[in-house]
Amino acid sequence: MEEKKESYFGEVGSALKTLATGLKVTMKEYFTPKSTEQYPENRKTTLHVAARHRGRLTFIRDEEGNYKCTACTMCEKACPNGTIRILSQMVTNEEGRKKKQLVDYQYDLGDCMFCELCTNACGFGAIEFTNDFENAVFDRSKLVLHLDKEVYTGGSLPNIIDGGADWEVGTFNTKKK
Ligand code: SF4
Ligand code: SF4
């Protein structure tokens, strides 16, 4: 089949049309309000982190600091890559009944995919994700956290659990402390 060839001026015309289409998209994006975070300059001022952002796993504790984990291992089984390791022991309670007791709850942040299958599997509401994303360390072994041994009260960022500063679309969040 014979190819239909455009004339010289026809080709110039279609090239200009393509250029105009590209420029239209560029100009539209140029005037669209921006919401860029100037991190880390704004980490103590205008930084916004969505409350639902999955930064790291924590234990949910009551006012007295008690956790709800029963060492049932459902989260460990649900985790697809062995991020969670639970050590437990059997103890006899005051009523003389045998009960599982948590000895160590290991969570390797370096392996976590933040899929949240563990929190969905937990039938006791014992674990949740917090939006604390500043977890970089030089030594990988420091990413292995023992959730039962820590009382998480928030990261190094102000009001991070509430989402930090208000989200302002159309501004560059650049204010420095
Ligand atoms: S979020 Fe996913 S990968 Fe991370 S500990 Fe939970 S189940 Fe495992
Ligand atoms: S965090 Fe929840 S699912 Fe995991 S062992 Fe504790 S109670 Fe069971």
Alpha-carbon distance of 121 to 91, in angstroms, equals: 24
- 73-107 pLDDT tens trace: 999 999 999 999 999 999 998 888 999 999 999 99
pTM: 0.80
Task: State the ligand closest to the CA atom of 60.
Answer: 2
Mean pLDDT across 99-127? 97
- In this structure, the residue with its CA closest to atom 2 of ligand 2 is 122
Q: What are the structural domains of the chain?
A: 56-146 (3.30.70.3270)
- 161-176 pLDDT tens trace: 888 888 877 777 776 6
Ligand 1 centre distance from Cα of residue 73 (Å): 13
Cβ–ligand 1 contact at 116 (below 6 Å): yes
Alpha-carbon distance of 150 to 105, in angstroms, equals: 10
For 148-177, the DSSP string reads: TT------SSTTGGGTBSPP-TTS-B----
Tell me the pLDDT band of 33, cut-offs 50, 70 and 90: confident
